[in-house]
Amino acid sequence: MPDTLTIKDNRTGKQYEIPIESGAIHATDLRQIKTSDSDFGLLSYDPAFLNTASCKSKITFVDGDAGILRYRGYPIEELAEKCTYLQVAYLLVHGELPSKSEYEQWVHNITYHTMVHENVKKFVDGFHHDAHPMGMLVSTIAALSTFYPDAKNIFDEKSRDLQIWRLIGKIPTLAAFAYRHSVGMAYIYPSNDLTYAENFLSMMYRPSWTTKYEPNKTLAKALDVLFILHADHEQNCSTNAMRTVGSSHPDPYSAAAAATAALYGPLHGGANEEVVRMLEEIGSVDKIPEIIRQVKDGKRLLMGFGHRVYKNYDPRARIIKKIADQVFEVTGRNRLLDIALELEKVALSDDYFVKRKLYPNVDFYSGLIYQAMGFPMDIFPVLFAIPRMSGWLAQWQEMLLDHEQKISRPRQIYLGYPERHVP
Ligand code: SDX
């Protein structure tokens, strides 16, 4: 049987053969379906892209029904167990796990790009003490574009590599500076003798530059695994923003600022913060029935539940639950975990959630770990943005090098007034 779709337009009786490629049709093949020569031709209408592929990609594979997530073919469970975040970042950007020498060079390049220009501190200083760290991060990532005009050479591979090292290297520094500003503490500069996660913990929590600080190895390792789990997730909202903004060919800092802004939303990366606020509001397991009732009455969402793609358990949530036990051995158990576990149990046995295939997603348990590690709630989305930077950059680069891609400019269905004249 041929890989085609036969479409009969009942308005005209005409028949069309539309080729099927990789389980999809080219939407532009619908334009030939017209009722007259002056007809624009058929469009496909898909608000929020529920059933539209915006690109071809070789980076991440998600099977939502089976609860499968793979980066460049490797199962997330194996990467989380056997790799470091920087090995995974290399894999996402370059397509293969690095050799020993490639990895050493990659770590060196990123480590030696963790510092930011002294003037960046003036941006951070300019924010109110209670500014949300994600607002500061969006702004300072965008500001970096003004320090590196060479970043506009997006079709020069060496320039792209340099910006990729800079963005992966500097986002933890920007994140830590935002936190230090919000608590009125002096900025702690990067320490090149620490690992990526250790360095971030040092910039966040080292009391002062003159005070020795040894990041807890268990917590640093747990954070590194959480970074792996959050590194990429195919065409999610913020990655779509990275690709869309990147498609008009600005520098990658401007595109990354847009992606960070998209991630900030409570329906996306901001959910980990909202989950903990929701659990704190619940306060005790006996309040769970009331919350479930409010959700079923459509009065609120169960934050950390549901997913556009996963209609099964998010494989990342499963791994995060395991990490929680390791972290709580060091930090002490987060009392909210009991509420979260009971909430999951109640929800997964309630037809409202079962019918809609709503399961815990990556954000349901991650906030509990971050809170136990001492991070303030408004930093949680920042902890999502840090690792997602490597995924955004991998997707941005793939878009730039894809000859089928061009500036993103969707069509619309116009339902407004026909021509009318100013009286
Ligand atoms: C991330 O895309 C990615 O890959 C994202 C991400 C990544 O790694 O980049 O995985 C990270 O963003 C995870 C999601 C974090 N967000 C939340 O936890 C916020 C709560 N979740 C919902 O807002 C929602 O589930 C979304 C946004 C995640 C998905 O929304 P969809 O796909 O548009 O689903 P929908 O809104 O069409 O919901 C289908 C039905 C609706 O009910 P009906 O109208 O059919 O009666 O399920 C209901 C929704 O009301 N529903 C929920 C719900 N999520 C969906 N009802 C209660 N609580 C929820 N959380």
pLDDT in tens, 188-221: 999 999 999 999 999 999 999 999 999 999 999 9
308-342 residue pLDDT tens: 999 888 999 999 989 998 999 999 988 999 999 99
| Percent of the chain whose predicted confidence (pLDDT) is above 90 | 96
Could you tell me if the CB of 304 is within 6 A of ligand 1?
yes
> What is the structure's pLDDT at 312?
86
| CA dist., res. 163 & res. 140, Å (int) | 15
Q: pLDDT band at 104, cuts 50/70/90?
A: very high
Which atom of ligand 1 is nearest the CA belonging to 304? 18
Residue 52 lies in a domain: no
> Are 199 and 311 found together in one domain?
yes
| β strands within 4-108, DSSP E | 4-9, 14-19, 60-63, 68-71, 74-75
- Active centre residues (catalytic): 268, 307, 363
Strand pairing report for 4-9 and 74-75: unpaired
How far away, in angstroms, is 402 Cα from ligand 1 center?
30
- Does any ligand 1 atom lie closer than 6 A to the CB of residue 308? yes
Using DSSP, state whether 6 is helix, strand or coil.
strand
Residue range 337-361, pLDDT digits in tens: 999 999 999 999 999 999 999 999 9
Whether the predicted pLDDT of 43 surpasses 90:
yes
87 close to ligand 1 (CB < 6 Angstrom): no
* 305 C-alpha to ligand 1 centroid (Å): 7
Q: Residue 358 falls within a domain, yes or no?
A: yes
Same domain, 78 and 127: yes
Whether residues 348 and 242 share a domain: the answer is yes
Query: Of all protein residues, whose CA lies closest to atom 35 belonging to ligand 1?
Result: 308
Residue 16 lies in a domain: yes
Note the pLDDT tens digit of each residue in 239-255: 999 999 999 999 999 99
Q: Mean pLDDT throughout 141-169?
A: 98
Q: Do residues 9 and 72 share a domain? A: no
CATH of the domain at 418: 1.10.580.10
Tell me if 341 is assigned to some domain: yes
Residue 133 pLDDT: 96
Question: Are 313 and 358 contacting, i.e. CB atoms less than 8 angstroms apart?
Answer: no
The rounded Å distance from CA 304 to ligand 1 centre is 8
How high does pLDDT run on average in the chain?
Answer: 96
Q: What is the pLDDT of residue 341?
A: 94
Q: So what's the pLDDT on residue 165?
A: 98
pLDDT at residue 166 greater than cutoff 90: yes
Taking CA atoms only, the protein residue closest to ligand 1 atom 48 is: 356
Task: Please indicate whether residue 378, judged by its CB atom, sits closer than 6 Å to ligand 1.
Answer: no
Residue 268 near ligand 1, beta carbon < 6 Å: yes
Q: What is the mean pLDDT of residues 96-101?
A: 98
Is residue 194 in some structural domain?
yes
The pLDDT, as a whole number, for residue 258 is 98
Nearest 5°: phi and psi at 402?
A: -90, 115
CB of 236 within 6 A of ligand 1: the answer is: yes
**Number of domains into which the chain is organized:** 2
**Most informative mutation of 361, 365, 366, 388 for ligand 1 (most atoms within 8 A of CB):** 361
Structural domain boundaries, residue 8: 4-44
Tell me how far CA of residue 160 lies from CA of 58, 133, 170, 227, 314, in angstroms: 19, 27, 15, 22, 32
This prediction has a pTM of 0.96
**pLDDT digit string, tens, across residues 268-303:** 999 999 999 999 999 999 999 999 999 999 999 999
